[in-house]
Amino acid sequence: MPKTALLAVLSLALAGSAAGALETAARAAAQARVPLLESPRSGPRPAPSWRNTSWLNADGPITLESLRGRVVLLNFWVFTCYNCTNTVPSLVDFDSKYRDQGLTVIGIHTPEFPPYAGEHDKANVVRALEKYHIAYPVAQDNDDRTWNLYGIRYWPSFVLIDRKGRIRYEGAGEFHVGDADYRLWEGRIRELLAER
Amino acid sequence: MRGAAALALGLLAACAADRPRAPDAAPPLVLRTVPAGDSLRLVLDAAPGWRINARVKPVLESADGTLLRFDATGLTPDSAYFAEPPVAVVSARARNPIRGTLRASVCAAGEAVCRVVRLEVGGKR
């Protein structure tokens, strides 16, 4: 997906009140419409190695190298994102159905806001894992490093990596157990699991 | 205009992208001010087709670290989004100008993703 951004400058003037005049200049960063479930970008390419140090549902940091030979589904999410938490049941389902067949689901928890919003707090993430019954590993990505490494722009986003460590599919957007997008992702997972 | 504010909004959008801007890529938020007695209400409006995430409330971050949070009582039935424009209130007598970074999480109808919008707001009275 090409990197797209919109810079907008707002100028705002307020006059005629007891408060006097207010002039405001604003710059907005937004993005064009999201091409959901667009993938692959330009054929398989090596997945970059993440280096997150804070993990949940794991004995210690999990590396991409340690997962060679497995299919890996990365989910970039944050617990304050409704679209993200709506998609979690599908990921829990994938984890339940395909972990033993070679799938590793990994949540990359990337905050939207600065630390004051609470998204960086490990205890809050732990509560979210309990609330949504997430048993697969989740890495805290509080510095956005893995988010940037993979060029992610939206919550939730997904990256599907094959057994050889290559990115095969990418996409973004909420989906639900049994819907068309769920079936699409499940088909992709099964396709990569069938490869040897 | 007596007892109310006349609001003039000028919008200039420039694309800093590596491909043409999509036709629907308009800024999703507008900040307006409404005098209310000794206070000034900052009202954050979402453009048509956009919703503001209520799970992480919009914040105006001042350069001195002060946080001004936007909130509203009306939420969508799933409590995920604001059903009415979130508001922050400041004193109309405050000397400091309204200036800082406005941050909000927004979602566009039909896209099923969240994104963060940042507005650099600089003003003087």
pLDDT, tens only, A87-128: 999 999 999 999 999 999 999 999 999 999 999 999 999 999
Quick one: pLDDT at residue A30? 35
Place of tokens 């507005």: B119
| Least-confidence region, from A73-87, B47-61, B93-107 | B93-107
Please determine, for the modelled complex, whether the ipTM score is greater than 0.90. no
Rounded to the nearest angstrom, the minimum Cα separation between B89 and chain A is: 14
Among A7, A19, A25, the residue with its CB nearest the CB of B16 is A7
pLDDT less than 50: residues of chain A? 1-35
Q: Three-state DSSP class for A159? A: strand
Are residue A6 and residue A60 in the same domain, yes or no?
no
pLDDT of residue B122: 78
pLDDT at B27: 65
The reply to whether residue A82 touches residue B2, judged by beta carbons under 8 angstroms, is no
Note whether A22 and A56 are same-domain residues: no
Question: Pick from A101, A53, A54: which is nearest to A73 by CA?
Answer: A101
Evaluate whether residue A37 is within a structural domain.
no
In a domain, A40, yes or no: no
Q: Which of A3, A76, A79, A81 is the mutation pick for testing B, counting most B CBs within 10 A?
A: A81
pLDDT score for A113: 95
Total tally of structural domains belonging to chain A: 2
What pLDDT sits at residue B110?
Answer: 79
Residues A8 and A76 reside in one and the same domain: no
Q: Do A172 and A158 form a contact (C-beta atoms < 8 A)?
A: yes
Range(s) of the domain holding residue A137: 45-194
Asked whether residue A5 falls in the same domain as residue A88, the answer is: no
Q: Which of residues 116-155 of A touch B (CB under 8 A)?
A: 116-117, 119, 153-155
pLDDT of residue B25: 52
Q: How confident is the model at residue B98 (pLDDT cuts 50, 70, 90)?
A: confident
Q: Are residues A26 and A105 in the same domain?
A: no
Flag if A84 and B114 touch (Cβ within 8 Å): yes
State residue B94's pLDDT score: 72
The pLDDT assigned to B10 comes to 24
**B95 — pLDDT class (breaks 50, 70, 90):** low
* Partner-chain contact A30 B115, CB within 8 Å: yes
| Beta pairing, strands A71-77 & A103-109 | parallel
Work out the pLDDT band at B12, boundaries 50, 70, 90: very low
CB contact burial B17-46 (16+ within 10 A = b; e otherwise): beeebbeebbbbbbbbbbbeeeebbbbbeb
List, in order, residues 6 or more apart from A98 with CB less than 8 Å away: A71, A189, A190, A193
**For range B12-16, the mean pLDDT:** 22
Is A173 a domain residue? yes
For residue A172, tell me if it sits in a domain: yes
Residue A50's CATH number: 3.40.30.10
Instruction: Give a yes or no: residue A112 inside a domain.
Output: yes
pLDDT score for B17: 21
C-alpha A173/C-alpha B89 separation (Å) is 34
Residue A37 has what pLDDT? 56
